[in-house]
Structure 1
Amino acid sequence: METRFEIRNSEFLLMKLDYPERLDEMGALRVLAWKDEQGISQDFFSHNAWLDDEDLLAHHWVILHNKEIVAAARMSFHNDYQSIPHADLFDGSILESYGTGPYASLNRLVVAPGFRGNGFSALLDEARIQYAATHGVRLIIAQPVASRIKPLEDLGFLYLGKIRPLYQMPERQIYFMIKELANNL
């Protein structure tokens, strides 16, 4: 899947990557974009890249500008709630009224500081939601920061509460949201 678009006379490309293409670049972008954010661990973000085991199993989307990754996001699929990244930081019993998976989890959305404000987060969210809907997912889990709650609500996510902070971002509040996919295609 590739989508070309233009913003202020600059061309961009939204694409889903084939595994394990460009993981190191995405990990480096995460550090670049988040290292100076309020509430993060300076020790953790002193590394060159932020990658974890889930990156090897997940699906990844990027937005390229002049062949450089300027935004990225991942989504992983899960048969049970316990295998979702950071599931231990939120009371999964709250999900009982929604039934069981399969689940998709949206995470690691990042936009390079110089490219923020162009709607890249929305484009990456929509691409991941569409992909989940066409691959048998019933429920999508998101664990956003406060500034992402409203955009996700606009896409049909429901706010369910706060989760305990991640050790990488000990002073940054993370929230828990869910979206039911009614019609899998």
Structure 2
Amino acid sequence: MNTRFEIKNSEFLLTKLDYPERLDEMGALRVLAWKDEKGISQDFFSHKAWLDDDDLRAHHWIITHEKTIVAAARLSFHKDYSSVPHANLFDEALLGDYAQGPFASLNRLVVAPGYRGNGFSSILDETRIEFARAQGARAIIAQPVESRIKPLEDLGFIYLGKIKPLFQMPERQIYFMIKELVH
């Protein structure tokens, strides 16, 4: 799947990747984009790339400009809540009526610093939500930083609370949101 679009007289390409295509580049972009953010672990972000086992099982999308990845995001699927990334950091009892899977999970959205403010997050969010819906997920989970709460609420996500900090970002508050995809 490739979708071409133009922003500010520049052409970009949205692509759904086939594994393991360009994973190392996505991991390097995560470090590049987040290493100078407030509240992160300088030791962790001294590595060349941020990749984990979930990358091997997830679906990935990238936005490229002149063949360089400028934004990326992943989506993972889960039969039950316990396999959602960072499930141990949020009390499953707080899911209430949303506790039944299957779930999709929005993960690792990253936009290169020089390309922020172009709507890439929205493009990647909408693309992943539609893909999750088409694949039969009952609900989709997001674990955003504070600046992403309002954009996700605009897409129909409901705020359920805070999660415990990630070891990679020990001083950065992460939140828990969910969107029902089927009724």
TM norm structure 2: 0.98
Structure 1 moving runs of 4+ over 4 Å: none
Please name the residue that 1:116 is paired with: 116
Instruction: Determine helix, strand or coil for the equivalent of 1:55.
Output: helix
Please name the residue that 1:7 is paired with: 7
Q: Find the aligned partners of 2:171 and 2:10 in 1 and give their Cα distance.
A: 36
Deviation of 1:96 after TM superposition, in Å, equals 3.1
* Residues 81 and 99, structure 2, Cα contact 8 Å, conserved in 1: no
Q: Find the aligned partners of 1:28 and 1:98 in 2 and give their Cα distance.
A: 34
Corresponding residue pairs, total? 183
1:170 aligns with 2:170: yes
Deviation of 1:99 after TM superposition, in Å, equals 4.0
Q: Find the aligned partners of 2:151 and 2:99 in 1 and give their Cα distance.
A: 25
Instruction: Determine helix, strand or coil for the equivalent of 2:71.
Output: strand
Consecutive unaligned residues of structure 2, counting only runs of 5 or more, are none
Q: Find the aligned partners of 1:138 and 1:2 in 2 and give their Cα distance.
A: 26
Consecutive unaligned residues of structure 1, counting only runs of 5 or more, are none
Q: Find the aligned partners of 1:95 and 1:146 in 2 and give their Cα distance.
A: 20
Q: Find the aligned partners of 2:98 and 2:177 in 1 and give their Cα distance.
A: 12
Q: Root-mean-square deviation (CA), in Å?
A: 0.8
Q: Find the aligned partners of 1:47 and 1:118 in 2 and give their Cα distance.
A: 28
Deviation of 1:25 after TM superposition, in Å, equals 0.1
1:101-137 deviation line (CA, Å, top 9, x unaligned): 0000001000000000000000000000000000010
Please name the residue that 1:51 is paired with: 51
For residue 53 of structure 2, what is the amino acid of its counterpart? D
Identity percentage over the alignment? 78
Instruction: Determine helix, strand or coil for the equivalent of 1:106.
Output: strand
Deviation of 1:15 after TM superposition, in Å, equals 1.1
Please name the residue that 2:35 is paired with: 35
Q: Find the aligned partners of 1:139 and 1:28 in 2 and give their Cα distance.
A: 30
TM norm structure 1: 0.97
Written as runs of structure 1 = structure 2, the 5 A alignment for 1:33-112 is: 33-112=33-112
Please name the residue that 1:24 is paired with: 24
Q: Find the aligned partners of 2:99 and 2:34 in 1 and give their Cα distance.
A: 34
For residue 67 of structure 2, what is the amino acid of its counterpart? K
* Residues 63 and 69, structure 2, Cα contact 8 Å, conserved in 1: yes
